[in-house]
A and B are shown apart, each in its own frame.
Chain A
Amino acid sequence: MVSIIGWSRIRSPWILYMGTGHCNACDIEVLAVLAPRFDVERFGILLKGSPRHADVLVVTGAVSRQTAPRLKRIYEQMPNPKFVIAVGTCACSGGVYWGCYNVLGGIDKVIPVDVYIPGCPVRPEAVIQGVAKLLAKLQGGGKK
């Protein structure tokens, strides 16, 4: 029984996108992933609007002070099992905005992160590989 549920989780990861103090380059690359050339719907990935519907939270941008509480709230609204992908160097570690006063640095300062995808901006292929790595991690007995 567990293997069927595992299979279904791997085959239909729905993503919710959120930008926090970002520069829009990673956003358009995440959006480009849905466009015909990269088309992640092949893996069953759909872009969802409501945190209730999503499994994977894709976050870009070094968290600015204003969006930190919102990011936490969106993360808490998502039902388990949920995962977080930090897209772009800013999301991983604050990236090029080191030293800027209004920025907290990486996403992991606010919420636990499962997959880090570096790149400035991240390449669509890297986003797909990040999701694939997440699914592989899921296959190997991901956290409940």
Chain B
Amino acid sequence: MMSIYRIPVGPQHPAIKEGFQWNFKLDGEVIVDVTPRLGFVHRGIEKGMELRSWVQGIYLAERICGICNTPHTTCYCLAVEQLYDVEVPKRAQYLRIIINELNRIHSHLLWIGVLGMEIGFMTYFMYVWRDRERVMDIVELITGNRVTMSMNMIGGVVYDITPPMEGIIRRGLDYLEERTKYYKEVLLNEPTIRARTENVGVLSKSDAIDLCAVGPTLRGSDVKSDARFDEPYSSYDEISFNLVTYPYCDVYARALVRADETLESIQIIRECLDKMPSGPIKVRLKRTPPPGEAVARVEAPRGELLHYVKSDGKEKPYRVKMRTPTLANIPATCEMLKGYYIADIPAIIASIDPCYCCTERMLFIDINSGKSWVWTDSELRRYSLKYYRERRK
């Protein structure tokens, strides 16, 4: 029986950058092994970086992922500044914190809305995305653009926050805080959401550490690790905020982690606005950095992001390596699927909230008979229904 497993290209919600495809190895009913196949949205950015000058690299780094564009530019600029061995002025560091946290609020609210859309709760999606516009207004106020902030520059920051802006930003933050608390309330005790997210896609704490998971996926399994604490870049250590973790290890925990982190981010921005030092916002630097190499780590909304930069003194980078947080989470995602029955795959895949447009194919290989077949999600769902009905008889 050969038929293709394919979730069609359709209205998709962007949660990760790389499209991926799941290959399952089965022993009868139980999933023994899962291997992913990426590459559907691969554009060859790392090679593209070598064709661009250092400054042009910022604009390409920004468009690796549309949602968390700021962490990418922050990480790239931090790495290059390490090459120059220069310290960015204090005010620029605080501005970078504010922009990164605004981006985190934007990304987390987006994901919470998409979680509602994912389980068919359109009203929740509409309300959350209506309030998310408030963050984009603040971002537009500071940088002039709703989504791609292009705030960072090698040696500092491009835009500044003037006193009249602060008042608007604070009012926006108050409104956002009140709304995020309300959405967390809904998340906590709305039965249909809980029915679709509780103890689904469980990732134990030890697996999360072994498989190097990052971000909310890791912190949902009760592991205290956040790049802002592990490596306090751009004076995060001067800001007091706490690390959010939940012990339930399932999708419900990850949703709660993201909701709490949004509230934390709002506090961070307020504290930055209070303690904002005066002074210049950028440092003038030569066009090409001295030869050498540098590594920078930043906490993107989806997890720890790493940029490695190598320069040989020329005006184009010799090598730029980026590791997006989603790539780190894929082995952990495979772990979540192991040991479950075929019938559970639709629930877990939906709970991981993959980028539907890229989750294309699911290949099954029965290791006993060596027979291999590929199923469509619909056939998979039909099989799971039949499977559960037999179990219930």
Contacts and interface: CB of A to CB of B under 8 A. Distances in A.
A28 B9 contact: no
Nearest to A18: B9
Contacts of B45: 97, 100
A121 B148 contact: yes
A36 B126 contact: yes
Interface residues of B, number: 41
A27 B66 CA distance: 9
Contacts of B69: 25
A24 B146 contact: no
Interface string A59-102: 00110101100100010000000000000000000011111111
A66 B42 contact: yes
Contacts of A37: 130, 133
A67 B358 CA distance: 9
Contacts of B12: 17, 19, 27
A36 B10 contact: no
Contacts of A50: 10
A9 interface: no
Q: Interface on chain B toward A: helix, strand, loop, or mixed SS?
A: loop
B66 A121 contact: yes
B147 A35 contact: no
B48 interface: yes
A31 B51 CA distance: 33
A22 B41 contact: yes
Interface in B92-137: 110, 125-127, 129-130, 132-133
Interface in A99-123: 99-103, 120-121, 123
Interface stretch (B57-65, B185-193, B278-286, B338-346): B57-65
Given A35-B133, A49-B10, A74-B9, A25 B43 contact: no
A64 B41 contact: yes
Interface of A: 16-19, 21-29, 31-32, 35-37, 47, 49-50, 61-62, 64, 66-67, 70, 74, 95-103, 120-121, 123
Interface of B: 8-14, 17, 19, 39-45, 47-48, 51-52, 59-60, 63-67, 69, 110, 125-127, 129-130, 132-133, 146-148, 355, 357
24 contacts: A19-B12, A21-B41, A21-B42, A23-B64, A24-B355, A25-B66, A27-B12, A27-B14, A28-B14, A28-B110, A31-B13, A32-B129, A35-B129, A36-B127, A64-B41, A67-B40, A96-B59, A97-B43, A99-B52, A100-B44, A120-B63, A120-B148, A121-B147, A123-B146
